[in-house]
Structure 1
């Protein structure tokens, strides 16, 4: 912590002294903006002929980079970049009250261009070096900011090189987390019998950590293509760790709660256009586990008292609903036929 604090102090000092040897007229974004606006409003034709509007992003870049040195949107205390001084200074660049806005004015492209060329590379750096995909808070802030950028800035789209680089960095970071930071311990069932024992506590903590990571990965579903996301989340995490953990533990209410939480993370649009009665192939292992769990629960309660038998039947119906939610209609119908209930 002391080293981090020292590094932050050094960065702050660097930010404060970066333009100490530069005249104020050229080191403050307000003054630079004022000079170009004066040119534009006084000699509009020469301003336009010189294509100054196209040059402004590069001219402002060093000054904005300085202000972005300590900007970290992963930090809850970090302000939105749209609330920063440089953004508010440039948001009305080239606009003068009483004059109709010319939509072909190159000045209007300054902020979108800066956002693509400065904000995205900064986010890419943070993704590669700071972001913890296991943190739901950090992931949510990053996803929400990215969605906002794609919605509000026309320069940020699938064809943007900087945007593609950024998303590639996100995918690479998620892969690294799956390879380096995920671990699912395997214990005999007898070891897990005592829920409060050290091994059992560790097992369930790791299990829930994996499920949490699954939700974090799938929160990118509006931004990363389904095939890429399914390979990461389903092949790389669900089938590789989570289902194995479920199979090796007791079938009880906690296990079913885990399954419900897992299914709640899946994007609904994955299942809207599926043909036939089968779900997507990567979910077959989960489906088989759910069917096996239903049969085990039914068998365990079939000879018990009425209340316990009814409770077991309700759990089987609940499992059937989980299967319906992921469009595993073949498995859901199989349970309904075997245990004589209707799918609701």
Structure 2
């Protein structure tokens, strides 16, 4: 086969411009100009194809002036590159950076294949060779295809384990990248928080001057407040002591007069019993005069009861607390002087230092704006001590034994403290165990309980129903308010209860006196003996009723000991047993049962009453039998009803069966 001279072809190609569009025109021109003897061989075609490939890589410019050495060197580099690519590991997924290059490479391969096909068709048309020469061209093409197949066959085998391992490595790599990104995110988040905290600290530091000004002003205010209270507390103690002495003297005067009246009347009745006059006539005249005064006061109280339509009353159940007009005027004058001194006590003091509300507003401002320093300074322990003198001034006029006594919740200081405790700014500061909640409890422990205890010891008269009701109501209100506070039972509260019990015991020992006279002396209800005994009986019933008003405040066993064991069994029952059976006896028994709290009998089971009432229940049984003999049917029904109230059901059943009065059994279900 005769080939084309490369040098001649190069010379012919030199005048061609770089804008020569397609190599196919060159081949067709060569085919048309040359004869059949100038047909290019396969090597020449391969070199031409290589030159076109290089031209595409260089902005689609195909230079035909390429030396054989450059073409051979390029072929060698391409073969080495193909060998190296064969030795590399099989890539199952293209890298992200090489994806564009591979797409361009795929497009180039498709263009090469189309170009090859077109060249083969042109060669077939241009060449008029013999059958053997014509068949040489597809033979070379088949050889190249076989070479490519062999190259693919030399690649390593692929299986699922290799794919799985590479996927796992890829997943592990992605997880490491994710963790590193997560750490970076957390770092950035922490940096943002630190920046915000630093900004807040800087903002606070910018307010250092104003903070210093506030603390300095607060220190000056507290110092002035303490100095003011230290100066006034001496006068407060004096005024409080004066009022306390005034009330105590008034209570002692009334108590002493009642005891003297009791002794004088008892002595006078003893003189009447002996039917002899005292050798000392002056003493008898004095007793007569005192008794006349006592009768006048008693008559005056009776007239007041009649005007108020109090019909259910007996002589001895009223409190002899009337004072002579001169003594009442003197008492009121001294009381007004003390109150006026209290009013003038803080005339020279600014409102910020003598008004509880203004003082608490200062500390409220501190608590809202600077809660950390507020709690670190233990203000909750200091406020009760600071407010102590001012609260005591308001309590100087607080007589808790009067019927119109002001309730604790209605006092100005109590409302101010409640407003302070309710004024916590939750949006700025929130604390689950706020120590300020114990401020009110400390005030009650240190001020209220001791004041009530003083009244109980020296002013309260247990025989006075009005005083006892007022005191009981005050104690219930204080204890109820105290129970809502987050504090345990205090020593001051227990001391108050102990003093109440001691005062009631003392009253039973000193004020209860029921004389026993012969039946002949008391048969006449208008006789002095019967009148005095009856009056003392009802006075004891009143004391029993007053003592049992403390139910739910004083322990139940203590009240049962005082009311049932000492008053009922020792005094009242002794008089009731000696009374003749009749309506008067039934009425006295009814009054005694009416004093007993119904709560005591709710837990009684099997029809058994309280053990302390066993003697009283036996008396009711004997009274019912005596009434049956006297044919007093209505009174019998009342006695059965009393047995049902005290849960003495067995005694009542036995009586009804004994006397065949089953029609009254319906009363037992009441």
Determine if the TM-score, normalized by the shorter chain, exceeds 0.5: yes
The structure-2 alpha-carbon separation of the partners of 1:247 and 1:12, relative to structure 1 and needing over 3 Å to count, comes to same
Corresponding residue number in structure 2 for 1:140 = 469
* Aligned counterpart for 2:401 among listed residues 53, 67, 74: 74
What is the rounded CA distance, in whole Å, between the counterparts of 1:252 and 1:31 in structure 2? 68
| DSSP 3-state at the match of 2:588 | helix
Matched residues, number: 334
Corresponding residue number in structure 2 for 1:279 = 609
Task: After superposition, give the CA deviation of every residue in 1:137-179 in whole Å (9 maximum; x if it has no partner).
Answer: 2212222222222222235987321111111011001001000
* Aligned counterpart for 1:91 among listed residues 381, 399, 418: 418
What is the rounded CA distance, in whole Å, between the counterparts of 1:121 and 1:276 in structure 2? 45
| DSSP 3-state at the match of 2:420 | coil
| Relative contact order, higher structure (CA 8 A, sep 6+) | 1
What is the rounded CA distance, in whole Å, between the counterparts of 2:575 and 2:587 in structure 1? 14
Is it true that 1:231 corresponds to 2:595 in the alignment?
A: no
Equivalent residue runs for 1:203-214 within 5 Å: 203-214=533-544
Structure 1 gaps of 5+ residues are 302-311
1:330 to partner: Cα distance: 2.7
| DSSP 3-state at the match of 2:651 | helix
User: Which 10-residue stretch deviates more, 39-48 or 118-127?
Assistant: 39-48
Corresponding residue number in structure 2 for 1:320 = 640
Contact 1:150 1:157 in 2 (8 A): no
Contact 2:438 2:486 in 1 (8 A): no
Structure 2 gaps of 5+ residues are 1-326
1:97 to partner: Cα distance: 8.7
Equivalent residue runs for 1:1-344 within 5 Å: 1=327, 4-5=331-332, 7-9=334-336, 11-16=338-343, 18=345, 25-93=352-420, 95-96=422-423, 99=426, 104-154=433-483, 155=485, 159-301=489-631, 312-342=632-662, 343-344=665-666
Contact 2:540 2:572 in 1 (8 A): yes
User: Which 10-residue stretch deviates more, 20-29 or 36-45?
Assistant: 20-29
User: Which 10-residue stretch deviates more, 52-61 or 24-33?
Assistant: 24-33
Task: After superposition, give the CA deviation of every residue in 1:277-323 in whole Å (9 maximum; x if it has no partner).
Answer: 4322211221121112111111223xxxxxxxxxx133223212211
| Bigger Rg, structure 1 or 2 | 2
The structure-2 alpha-carbon separation of the partners of 1:248 and 1:18, relative to structure 1 and needing over 3 Å to count, comes to farther
What is the rounded CA distance, in whole Å, between the counterparts of 1:172 and 1:67 in structure 2? 28
What is the rounded CA distance, in whole Å, between the counterparts of 2:488 and 2:528 in structure 1? 48
Instruction: Normalising by structure 1, report the TM-score.
Output: 0.88
Contact 1:116 1:163 in 2 (8 A): yes
| DSSP 3-state at the match of 1:264 | helix
Task: After superposition, give the CA deviation of every residue in 1:117-151 in whole Å (9 maximum; x if it has no partner).
Answer: 21111111111111111122221222222222222
User: Which 10-residue stretch deviates more, 257-266 or 105-114?
Assistant: 105-114
Task: After superposition, give the CA deviation of every residue in 1:223-248 in whole Å (9 maximum; x if it has no partner).
Answer: 11121111100111111111111122
Higher helix share: 2
Task: After superposition, give the CA deviation of every residue in 1:50-89 in whole Å (9 maximum; x if it has no partner).
Answer: 1212321122112111211221121123211222221222
Contact 1:149 1:156 in 2 (8 A): no
